A and B are shown apart, each in its own frame.
Chain A
Amino acid sequence: MRPVYLAGVGLHPFGRFADRSVTALGAHAVRAALTEAGVGRDGFQAAFCGTVYSGVAAGHKVLTALGLSGVPMVNVEAGCASGGAALALGVAQVASGRCERVLVFGMEKMPRGMIRSSFFEPWREEAGLAATPAYFALRAQRLMRESDVTLDDLAAVSVKNHRHGVDNPDAMYRKAVTGAEVLASPMVCAPLRLLMLCSPNEGAAAVVLSARPEGPAPVRVAAAALRSHRAGSVLGEHTPMSGLADDGVPTPTEMAAHDAYEEAGVGPADLHVVELQDTDAAREILSAEELGLCARGGGGRWVRDGGGAMGSRRPVNPSGGLLSKGEPLGASALGQIVELTWQLRGGAGARQVAGARLALAHTVGRGANACVVILTRG
């Protein structure tokens, strides 16, 4: 397999943009990535677009609007990991030698309010069992019961990520919050309060993959692993109606992380910076444990020791994470890749992690789908 490089990246800020279509958001990010890579109409041989709520041929509409159609295009839906899944497909095309360059992008305009998902059967909606934050709440309660994670720890995750978000001009929320503010924000589903949950929103991100180190400062994709779930856990991200004792069932994140670490030939201790799924504050702790950033059951101590804060040994979510940026499903995973590319190039401005050379991006969600990508400088 050939090495695969990131030749250019582009981002449309995450937020709410009432006057812009999802096609316009996607076109903005694609144009930026192609411009940075110095690649034009005939410069790439395939395109993959991650999106969930954008409808029929959404990626085709973007490339049509830019006059870039003609190459094979595939729209990829993999829930919260859609952009990661699109990236994994693109990486395989370049690594195998089938393509010299591949365009990968993701975009979304999420509906407002609690996310409605066609994943749930109509009866499950009618019975009130399609409340996504309630499933997050059950995972959070279990985490707190089975380890020493406290409400203060959950609040501390929100405080950290919102503090990081202040320095990210592309984030939706750029205001620091205190632990007291988090714990006084409206209850959504106990134990999770409003400021412990990310907001669905809008945005787009794009990357140009290349078989050659080209573009501003080459970053290499050391691994791009995608896994689904194994049945067994009632709290799994595949959101089943039942399960059994699940202690021996690996999570999709654990499986994807295992594959990615093996492919890249590195371990969690080698990483300098991480962007991980923080759909809610408990999810960040679970993600950290499942990725091996701390011990299983050690997430509370990891938070209290300042793990993941800027200035710590291995900052987590320097972008502010989904808690600050919001979550446009199809764009969020590639947004992480754009952030980490900037970090590895040394171009992340006020939120630069000094000396970052090895980075990990992680998304997990409905399907279930988990994607773990490892990037390295040069």
Chain B
Amino acid sequence: MTPGVTPGVTMMAVSRPVAPGLFVEDAGGPRLLAGQCPACSRPHFPAGRVCPYCAAEGCTETRVGPAGRLWLYTAIGTRPPGYAGEVPFGFGVVELPGGLRVITRLTEPRLELLRPGMPMRLVITPLHTDDAGTAVVSYAFAPEEA
């Protein structure tokens, strides 16, 4: 081990979220950071201060997930613009308890292994390693272990 560097610090230094404010990991596992409107109480993601549905200000942050159900899905086999990670990967919409439907990566690109309504679980997965050697991670949904 390098003197003066603890393993925990090293771990934090070698990975970073693709953007701040999208997700956290707490005792219950990974969570998405959604916004909740003080006026209409409807949720949105990513969290913003203004409600996209009714324009009320002062939305609060609320943690959602990790469980959800698969609604729509496809697979992306060609690298989309600005993406340096592996292909193929799954892409779709997962519906969370409370009705929030979220655009997401899916860990499973084999469509024959996916079905509408199947239970899914939020995970944090690596996208790619940047020029500084840092792993860039984002959220995704994986089929729930049977």
Name A's B-contacting residues (CB within 8 A): 114-117, 120-123, 125-132, 134, 137-138, 141-142, 145, 187-191, 231-232, 234-235, 240-245
Contacts and interface: CB of A to CB of B under 8 A. Distances in A.
In this complex, the interface size class of chain B, counting residues with CB under 8 Å from chain A, is 35 or more
A126 B116 contact: no
A351 B22 CA distance: 52
Contact of A128 (B19, B72, B91): B91
Contacts of A231: 52-53
Given A126-B18, A127-B105, A145-B116, A116 B76 contact: no
Nearest to B137: A127
Nearest to B89: A128
B42 interface: yes
A219 to B, nearest CB: 39
A126 B77 contact: no
B53 A126 contact: no
Q: Which 10 A-B pairs have the closest CB atoms?
A: A125-B82, A123-B19, A131-B80, A116-B81, A242-B45, A137-B74, A231-B52, A234-B101, A128-B83, A138-B72
B93 interface: yes
B58 interface: no
A131 B85 CA distance: 13
Contacts of B45: 241-242
Nearest to A121: B19
B24 to A, nearest CB: 16
Nearest to A191: B74
B70 to A, nearest CB: 11
Contacts of B81: 114-117, 120, 125, 130
Given A126-B127, A231-B52, A241-B103, A189 B76 contact: yes
A143 to B, nearest CB: 10
Interface string B58-88: 0000000000000011111111111111000
Contacts of A125: 80-83
Contact of B76 (A121, A128, A240): A128
Contacts of B111: 190
B80 A142 contact: no
A130 B76 contact: no
Contact of B93 (A115, A126, A132, A234): A234
Contact of B72 (A117, A142, A245): A142
A248 to B, nearest CB: 12
Interface of A is mostly: loop
Nearest to B102: A242
A313 to B, nearest CB: 33
A243 B74 contact: no
Contacts of B46: 241-242
A141 B42 CA distance: 26
Interface in B112-137: 116, 127-128, 136
A187 B76 CA distance: 10
A127 B74 CA distance: 16
Given A128-B105, A129-B91, 8 more contacts: A114-B81, A126-B127, A127-B18, A128-B89, A187-B77, A234-B101, A244-B43, A245-B99
Contacts of B85: 128
A126 B136 contact: yes
A232 B43 CA distance: 10
- Of B44, B80, B84, B91, most buried by chain A (CB within 10 Å of CB) is B80
Nearest to B55: A231
In this complex, the member of B22, B74, B100 whose beta carbon has the largest number of chain A beta carbons within 10 angstroms is: B74
Given A242-B45, A242-B102, A245-B99, A189 B84 contact: no
A142 to B, nearest CB: 6
B42 to A, nearest CB: 6
A127 to B, nearest CB: 4
Given A123-B18, A244-B100, A141 B73 contact: yes
18 contacts: A114-B81, A116-B81, A117-B81, A127-B18, A129-B105, A132-B80, A134-B91, A138-B72, A138-B92, A138-B93, A189-B74, A190-B75, A191-B74, A234-B102, A242-B34, A242-B101, A244-B43, A244-B100
